Amino acid sequence: MAHPDNLFLDGVTLCAGHKTILDHVTLTVPITGMTLLAGRNGSGKSTFLKACLGLVRLQNGVLLVKGQPPETACKQIGYMPQGLNDAALMIPAISHVMAAMNGAQWGVSLPSRNRRENAERLLALTGALSFARRPLGLLSGGERQRVCLAQALTDNPKTLLLDEPLAALDHEAQHQIVSLLDTLTRELGISILMTSHETEALDGKVSRILKLENGSLHV
């Protein structure tokens, strides 16, 4: 049943072009804590995350995220897409976080003191405050992920959807990011649904694994 802590699918069919990602899937699963969405490359994990945000339309069925349709639920969801946008790499990290607040766009207005203070708070939360003034393009992979995570945390989301947050990170950086995500779930009560092929770093931290394969989704 649709519950505030559940991911609810009823007869969901989801396609990307001519590829069927989900084929009439019915499933109810809690997504409290940290949930891993697993599957082979090309299985459609990124497309499914976008469907949970209302960015991709279903072909059939009902999808509810924590009791709400994606178009409504997205207002309480922070999203970290796969890969880094190469735009504005010489802009300081803190400016990228401020630009993500309340849908702000580059060049609309000068940031207020409150906006900067909030960005600093988020960067401190993700362990990125020490390099807040450095250009994003000069940061390491792990440092960039901390900045991107701070962006996803703007507007105080209750849920985070993270697409391959551990990709291209060395072993130490992976464990540092996982430790940070674990802290967010335990201390702030934020639910995380994430994709990752780097499962070793997640050992013991994941509440459940959702497997996406051959048009089906199961725990």
Domain of residue 128 covers: 6-218
Is the residue at 201 inside a domain?
A: yes
- Mean pLDDT, residues 37-41: 95
Q: How many domains does the chain have?
A: 1
Give pLDDT, residue 104: 44
Q: Write out the DSSP string of 38-50.
A: E--TTSSHHHHHH
Tens-digit pLDDT profile for residues 67-115: 999 999 999 999 999 876 666 788 999 999 999 887 544 444 445 778 8
Q: What is the CATH number of the domain that holds 15?
A: 3.40.50.300
- Mean pLDDT, residues 38-55: 96
Is the residue at 120 inside a domain?
A: yes
CA dist 158 → 13, 94, 149, 150 (Å): 26, 22, 14, 14
Tens-digit pLDDT profile for residues 185-215: 999 999 999 999 988 999 999 999 999 999 9
Is the residue at 123 inside a domain?
A: yes
**Which candidate, 42, 36, 43, places its Cα nearest to that of 7?**
36
Report the alpha-carbon distance of residue 97 to residue 184 in Å, rounded: 18
Q: Supply the pTM of this predicted model.
A: 0.91
Is the residue at 1 inside a domain?
A: no
Tens-digit pLDDT profile for residues 132-189: 999 999 999 999 999 999 999 998 999 999 999 999 899 999 999 999 999 999 999 9
Is the residue at 177 inside a domain?
A: yes
- CA angle, 30 then 152 then 87, to 5°: 140
Is the residue at 102 inside a domain?
A: yes
